[in-house]
């Protein structure tokens, strides 16, 4: 294992922002720390970076304890939400920064800068001022700058959350690709499950300072460990497994779990409808209970048949 976090607790006075967290990240693996605001993700990431000192527990790299190793000696790259670029330097000047610190000679430095700009899709931007770039372009520069000195671990704290939705989705896909291409070991903090699932090989769900579940995205998505985690992952209704034909005690339903389909076995009555981006969201009453469903245009009061879409169903536990 490359990165090893062993029983890390970080206290601010009486309050534990991180409680007894253990986690490993393997060489070349991308792990996302996913959880709601205030659950301790950033504090944990800052502790790994060396910006925060754990109250107890340890951070090690390849079995070497990093306690006492300052931030700039950890050989970790950092990318924050707002890039924090040097405003008076050009794109190339920003990307070259870490290479200058490492005293890489000019020719090799220029070559590396150009190859990184290509990697992040910013060929031809070398001489631009960073203040003249869009938010998405600035984050690409921040990423290239962090990758330039070939850090052994990349730490990303909400790298896309300052961007608008469409751009965020596109950049998440680009970022996933380039982390793979550069075989980067990375720990990414995000509160957005789509982003976590796009980027990560494994997702660690945090709640109130603790990691409550770790696993591959598909596993976490389909089997959240408890109701709270299932709610965080989009489930809004909890029913016995038998309701959807599964032999489990309880399942969580997402808004897409039920779809109007004339072959469906469940019958209900439409009580409300709302237009969404690309579909109609219905509220359907089934045996006196209201459920969300996805459907074609229907009238309130219509009787409809519903099919279950298992992608929208999560087994709890
Ligand atoms: N320097 C600090 N001093 C005191 N309390 C802090 C400090 N930094 C964070 N906290 C508290 O620790 C808890 C965890 O904060 P943290 O920023 O790690 O959460 P987060 O999951 O990253 O949230 P967000 O997504 O909103 O950034 C919060 O309750 C926060 O108020």
Out of 62-66, 135-139, 209-213, 259-263, pick the least confident.
135-139
Average pLDDT, the chain: 93
CA-only gyration radius of the chain, Å: 23
| pLDDT above 80 for 1 | no
- Supply the pLDDT for residue 299: 87
Task: Based on the fold, state whether residues 85 and 205 are members of the same structural domain.
Answer: yes
The protein residue whose alpha carbon is closest to atom 7 in ligand 1 is 12
Question: How many distinct structural domains can be found in the chain?
Answer: 2
Q: Which of 170, 199, 222 is the last residue of a domain?
A: 222
Residue 266's H or E segment, with its range, is strand 266-275
189 and 250 share one domain: no
Q: Is 289 helix (H, G, I), strand (E, B) or coil?
A: strand
Confidence at residue 25, expressed as pLDDT on a 0 to 100 scale: 97
* pLDDT of 30 higher than 90: yes
How many of the other CB atoms lie within 10 Å of CB of 13?
A: 5
Instruction: Based on the fold, state whether residues 153 and 275 are members of the same structural domain.
Output: no
Q: Which atom of ligand 1 is nearest to the CA of 206?
A: 21
| Cβ(250)–Cβ(238) below 8 Å | yes
What b/e sequence results for 145-160 when a residue is b if at least 16 CB atoms lie within 10 Å of its CB, and e otherwise?
bbbbbebbbbbbbbbb
**Confidence at residue 292, expressed as pLDDT on a 0 to 100 scale:** 93
Q: Average the pLDDT over 70-88 and give the result.
A: 90
Domain-ending residue, one of 222, 250, 278: 222
The pLDDT of 183-207, averaged and rounded, is: 95
Return the CATH number at 311.
2.40.50.140
Residue 222 burial class via C-beta count within 10 angstroms: exposed 0-12, middle 13-18, buried 19 and up: middle
Q: For residue 160, give both structure tokens.
A: 């896309």
What spatial distance separates the first Cα and last Cα of the chain, rounded to whole Å? 27
Q: Taking 90 as the threshold, does the pLDDT of residue 195 lie above it? A: yes
The ipTM value here is 0.92
Predicted pLDDT at 157: 94
Q: Are residues 37 and 88 in the same domain?
A: yes
Query: Partners of 214 in the beta sheet?
Result: 204
Rounded percentage of the chain residues whose pLDDT exceeds 90? 78
Residue 198 in tokens: 């796009």
Instruction: Kindly indicate the confidence band of residue 16, based on its pLDDT and cuts at 50, 70 and 90.
Output: very high
C-alpha–C-alpha distance, residues 168 and 166, integer Å: 5
> Which pLDDT value is given to residue 174?
86
| 3-state SS class at 47 | helix
Strand pairing class (56-61; 64-65): antiparallel
Q: Give the side-chain half-sphere CA count within 13 A for 98.
A: 22
Does residue 46 have its Cβ closer than 6 Å to ligand 1? no
Per-residue confidence (pLDDT) for residue 65, from 0 to 100: 95
Q: Which atom of ligand 1 is nearest to the CA of 35?
A: 21
Q: Are residues 163 and 261 in the same domain?
A: no
Distance (Å) of CA 120 to CA 85, 127, 133: 16, 15, 14
Q: Which residue has the tokens 């032999």?
A: 247
Residues 131-155 pLDDT 10s: 999 888 998 999 899 999 999 999 9
Task: Give the rounded percent of residues in the chain with a pLDDT score beyond 70.
Answer: 99
pLDDT of residue 52: 95
What is the mean predicted confidence (pLDDT) over 172-191? 91
Output the pLDDT for position 136: 87
Please tell me which residue, 159 or 208, carries the higher pLDDT value: 208
pLDDT value of residue 303: 95
Any atom of ligand 1 within 6 Å of the Cβ of 12? yes
Range of the domain at 178: 3-222
**Which ligand 1 atom sits nearest the alpha carbon of residue 18?**
14
Bridge-based pairing state of the strands 186-190 and 30-34: parallel
What pLDDT band is residue 112 in, cutting at 50, 70 and 90?
A: very high
Domain match, 107 and 81 both: yes
Residue 147 and residue 258 in one domain: no
Q: Which atom of ligand 1 is nearest to the CA of 12?
A: 4
Mean pLDDT of 44-67: 96
CA 57 to chain centre: 25
Asked if 160 and 271 sit in the same domain, the reply is no
Q: Verify that 135 and 56 share a domain, yes or no.
A: yes
Within 10 angstroms of residue 183's Cβ, the number of other Cβ atoms is 8
CA distance 260 to 276: 16
pLDDT for residue 161 is more than 90: no
Q: CB 73: neighbour CB atoms within 10 A? A: 10
Task: From 37, 38, 52, 39, select the one nearest 5 (Cα to Cα).
Answer: 52
Domain of residue 180, CATH code: 3.40.50.300
Q: Which of 34-43, 162-171, 269-278 shows the highest mean pLDDT?
A: 34-43
Of 222, 256, 282, which closes a domain?
A: 222
Tell me if 32 sits within 8 A of 196, measured CB to CB. Answer: yes
Same domain, 201 and 294: no
Q: Is 217 in the pocket of ligand 1 (CB under 6 A)?
A: no
Domain check: are 124 and 200 in the same one? yes
**Residue 64 shares a structural domain with residue 180:** yes
- Please tell me if the CB atom of residue 234 comes closer than 6 angstroms to any atom of ligand 1: no
Q: Is residue 84 very low, low, confident or very high in pLDDT (cuts 50, 70, 90)?
A: confident
For the chain, the farthest-separated pair of C-alpha atoms sits apart, in whole angstroms, at: 74
Tokens of 91: 């794109």
Quick check: 5 pLDDT over 90? Answer: yes
Give the residue-averaged pLDDT of 283-305: 92
Q: What is the pLDDT of residue 264?
A: 92
Distance of CA 293 to the CA centre of its chain: 27
């Amino acid at each position: 294992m490359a990165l090893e976090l062993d029983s890390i607790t970080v206290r601010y006075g009486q309050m534990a922002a991180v409680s007894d967290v253990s986690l490993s990240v393997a060489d070349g693996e991308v792990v996302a720390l996913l959880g709601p605001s205030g659950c301790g993700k950033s504090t944990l990431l800052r502790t790994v970076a060396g910006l925060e000192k754990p109250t107890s527990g340890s951070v090690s790299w390849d079995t070497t304890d990093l306690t006492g190793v300052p931030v700039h000696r950890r050989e970790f790259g950092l990318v924050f939400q707002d890039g924090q670029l040097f405003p008076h330097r050009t794109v190339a000047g920003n990307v070259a920064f870490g290479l200058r610190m490492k005293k890489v000679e000019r020719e090799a430095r220029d070559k590396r800068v150009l190859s990184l700009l290509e990697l992040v899709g910013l060929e031809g931007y070398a001489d631009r001022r960073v203040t003249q770039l869009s938010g998405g372009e600035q984050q690409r520069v921040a990423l290239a700058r962090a990758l330039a000195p070939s850090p052994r671990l990349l730490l990303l704290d909400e790298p896309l959350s300052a961007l608008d939705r469409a751009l965020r989705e596109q950049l998440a896909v680009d970022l996933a690709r380039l982390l793979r291409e550069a075989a980067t070991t990375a720990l990414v903090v995000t509160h957005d499950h789509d982003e976590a699932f796009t980027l990560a090989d494994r997702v660690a769900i945090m709640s109130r300072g603790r990691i409550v579940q770790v696993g591959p995205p598909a596993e976490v998505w389909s089997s959240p460990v408890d109701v709270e985690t299932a709610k965080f992952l989009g489930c809004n209704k909890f029913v016995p497994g038998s309701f959807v034909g599964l032999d489990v005690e309880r399942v969580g339903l997402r808004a897409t779990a039920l779809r109007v389909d004339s072959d469906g076995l469940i019958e209900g009555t439409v009580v409300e409808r709302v237009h969404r981006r690309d579909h109609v969201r219905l509220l359907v009453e089934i045996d006196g209970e209201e459920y969300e469903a996805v459907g074609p245009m229907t009238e309130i009061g219509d009787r409809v048949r519903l099919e279950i879409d298992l992608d929208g169903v999560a087994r709890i536990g």
